[in-house]
C-alpha cells in the first residue's frame, strides 16, 4: 500500500492542486484517482494561466469561442467550466459514495472582487448556477470583505471553498461565517446541509521568513500555524454551538491544507504532507509533490488536537523578530494581489492567443 492510500485510509482527503485539459483527455486525472487516492481537485487563476500557456489543448476552444464573439472573463469562465464539469463527473462516484463529503472540484470567483462583498456574492451564485453540478465548490477569499459574502452564500445554499486563509484567526472568522449561514438557513426552515471547506495556506509562511530566522527555525512556521489552526478546528467542532447545529442536520465545514509544495530546495519534498496528516481534513497537492509522496513519503503521527508545541514554536519566531500576526495579514493581502496579477495575466494570455489563432485560421 503506497503512502497516498495510507493517508486516505487515515481519513484525510487528497485533492490535486492542478487541472489541465491534457490531464483530463489523457487519463492522468483518472489514474491519479484510481491509483493514488486523489478524490477531488482545486483550481485558481495561476493554474489555468499555466495550463493555457503551456499547451495547445485549449486552442480549438479559444478559436471557436472567439469566433462567437466571446472574450475576456466570459471566454475564460466557459473554458474553466468545461474542464471542471468534466472533472466533477470523474469524481462524482466518490461524491456519491461518501454522501457528499468528498469528490469535489473548485472554481474561483474573480480575484478582482476580493474586497467587494456584494459582487463576490453575486458572482458566486451565478457561477454555482452555471456549473449545475452537485460537487463544485465556489471559492471565495477569506478577506474581511469576503467573510460576509461567505455567510450570505452559505445562507443561499451555495457550497463554498473559503480560500486565502493564513492564520487561526482568519480561519475562525471564516468558520463562524459558515456557522451563521447555517443558522440563518435553519431559522428560515431551509435544509442546513450545505457543504463547505476552509483552506489554510501553509508553505507561504516559510517562504516569507526564509533567511530571516535562525537555521533551527527554518521551515517550521507554516506547520506550527497549521497546528494552531487545527486546534481551533477541533475546538469549534466540539463546541456546544456546533453540537446544536449538527443535531439539527448541519454538516461540518472541513479544514483544508493548501500550498503544500515545498519551496525550499534544501527541505524534504514531502515535508508538509508528512507533517499535516490528520483525519477529517483535506490536503491539496501539486503533481510533483503527489508523485514524490507516493514514491517515498511516510505517514507517521497525526496532528495533535491540542496543537502540540505550536504555541511555543510560534513564540520562538516572535523572539527572532517576526511579527507573526502582522505577517498573517500581509500574506493574505499579498495572496489576493498575486491572484489579481495572475488573473490579469490570464486575461492577457487568452486575448493574445485568440488573436494569434484568428490570424492563422
pLDDT value at residue 137: 98
Q: Tell me the sheet residues that pair with 38.
A: 14
H or E segment to which residue 151 belongs = helix 146-155
For the purposes of burial, counting CB atoms within 10 Å of the CB of 136, is it exposed (0-12), middle (13-18) or buried (19 or more)?
buried
pTM recorded for the entire structure: 0.96
In the DSSP assignment, the letter for residue 113 is G
Residues 101 and 81: their CA atoms lie apart, in Å, by: 21
H or E segment to which residue 241 belongs = helix 240-247
pLDDT value at residue 358: 83
pLDDT tens per residue across span 245-270: 999 999 999 999 999 999 999 999 99
Q: Is residue 176 part of a domain?
A: yes
Report how many domains make up the chain.
Answer: 1
Of the candidates 175, 163, 103, the one whose C-alpha atom is nearest the C-alpha of residue 136 is 103
Of the candidates 142, 149, 140, the one whose C-alpha atom is nearest the C-alpha of residue 117 is 149
Find the domain containing 184 and state its range.
3-356
Q: How many CB atoms lie within 10 A of CB 279?
A: 11
Residues 223 and 206: their CA atoms lie apart, in Å, by: 9
Res 318 pLDDT > 90: yes
Q: Is residue 143 part of a domain?
A: yes
pLDDT tens per residue across span 88-103: 999 999 999 999 999 9
Compute the radius of gyration of the chain from its Cα atoms.
20
Res 357 pLDDT > 90: no
C-alpha cell at 186: 435553519
Residues 95 and 102: their CA atoms lie apart, in Å, by: 5
Q: What is the mean pLDDT of the chain?
A: 96
Res 104 pLDDT > 70: yes
Is residue 317 within 8 A of residue 218, CB to CB? The reply is no
Q: Is residue 218 part of a domain?
A: yes
C-alpha cell at 11: 481519513
Res 32 pLDDT > 70: yes
Task: Supply the CATH number for residue 87's domain.
Answer: 3.20.20.70
**Catalytic position from the list 65, 139, 263, 298:** 139
Tell me the residue length of the chain: 361
pLDDT tens per residue across span 320-351: 999 999 999 999 999 999 999 999 999 999 99
Q: Is residue 194 part of a domain?
A: yes
Nearest-5° Cα angle at 236, 233 to 237: 85
From residue 58, alpha-carbon distances to 62, 64, 69 in Å are 6, 10, 17
Q: Ramachandran region of residue 251, left (φ > 0), alpha (ψ -120 to 50) or beta?
A: beta
Of the candidates 45, 329, 13, the one whose C-alpha atom is nearest the C-alpha of residue 173 is 329
Query: Average pLDDT, stretch 202-213?
Result: 97
pLDDT value at residue 197: 98
Q: How many CB atoms lie within 10 A of CB 188?
A: 8
Res 156 pLDDT > 90: yes
pLDDT tens per residue across span 126-148: 999 999 999 999 999 999 999 99
263 is annotated as an active-site residue? no
pLDDT value at residue 94: 98
pLDDT value at residue 361: 63
Query: Average pLDDT, stretch 161-171?
Result: 98
Residues 286 and 305: their CA atoms lie apart, in Å, by: 26
Res 1 pLDDT > 80: no
pLDDT tens per residue across span 279-291: 999 999 999 999 9
Q: Is residue 260 part of a domain?
A: yes
Q: Which residues, other chains included, contact 226 with Cβ-Cβ below 8 Å and sequence gap of 6+?
A: 200, 202, 257, 275, 276, 303
Q: Is residue 361 part of a domain?
A: no
Residues 333 and 208: their CA atoms lie apart, in Å, by: 13
Amino acid at each position: 500500500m503506497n503512502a497516498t492510500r495510507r493517508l486516505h485510509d487515515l481519513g484525510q482527503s487528497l485533492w490535486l492542486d492542478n487541472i489541465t485539459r491534457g490531464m483530463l483527455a489523457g487519463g492522468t486525472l483518472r489514474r491519479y484517482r484510481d491509483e493514488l487516492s486523489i478524490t477531488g481537485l482545486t483550481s485558481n487563476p495561476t493554474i489555468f494561466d499555466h495550463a493555457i500557456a503551456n499547451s495547445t489543448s485549449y486552442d480549438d476552444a479559444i478559436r471557436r469561442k472567439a469566433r462567437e464573439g466571446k472574450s475576456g472573463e466570459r471566454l475564460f469562465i466557459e473554458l474553466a467550466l468545461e474542464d471542471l464539469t468534466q472533472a466533477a463527473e470523474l469524481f462524482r462516484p466518490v461524491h456519491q459514495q461518501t454522501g457528499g463529503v468528498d469528490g469535489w472540484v473548485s472554481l474561483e470567483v474573480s480575484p478582482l472582487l476580493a474586497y467587494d462583498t456584494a459582487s463576490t456574492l453575486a458572482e458566486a451564485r451565478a457561477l454555482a448556477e452555471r456549473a449545475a453540478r452537485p460537487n463544485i465548490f465556489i471559492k471565495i477569499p477569506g478577506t474581511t470583505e469576503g467573510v460576509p459574502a461567505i455567510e450570505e452564500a452559505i445562507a443561499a445554499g451555495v457550497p463554498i471553498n473559503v480560500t486565502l486563509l493564513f492564520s487561526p484567526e482568519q480561519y475562525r472568522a471564516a468558520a463562524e461565517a459558515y456557522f451563521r449561514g447555517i443558522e440563518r438557513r435553519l431559522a428560515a426552515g431551509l435544509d442546513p446541509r450545505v457543504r463547505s471547506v476552509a483552506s489554510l495556506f501553509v508553505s507561504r509562511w516559510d517562504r516569507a521568513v526564509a533567511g530571516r530566522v535562525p537555521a533551527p527555525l527554518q521551515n517550521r512556521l507554516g506547520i506550527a500555524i497549521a497546528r494552531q489552526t487545527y486546534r481551533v478546528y477541533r475546538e469549534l467542532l466540539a463546541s456546544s454551538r456546533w453540537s446544536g447545529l449538527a443535531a439539527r442536520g448541519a454538516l461540518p465545514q472541513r479544514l483544508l491544507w493548501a500550498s503544500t509544495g515545498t519551496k525550499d530546495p534544501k527541505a524534504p519534498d514531502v515535508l508538509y504532507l508528512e507533517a499535516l496528516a490528520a483525519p477529517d481534513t483535506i490536503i491539496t497537492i501539486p503533481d510533483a509533490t503527489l508523485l514524490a509522496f507516493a514514491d517515498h513519503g511516510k505517514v507517521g503521527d497525526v496532528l495533535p488536537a491540542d496543537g502540540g508545541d505550536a504555541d511555543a514554536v510560534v513564540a520562538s519566531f516572535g523572539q527572532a523578530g517576526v511579527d507573526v500576526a502582522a505577517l498573517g495579514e500581509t500574506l493574505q493581502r499579498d495572496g489576493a494581489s498575486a491572484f489579481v496579477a495572475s488573473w490579469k495575466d490570464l486575461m492577457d494570455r487568452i486575448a493574445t492567443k485568440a488573436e494569434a489563432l484568428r490570424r492563422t485560421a
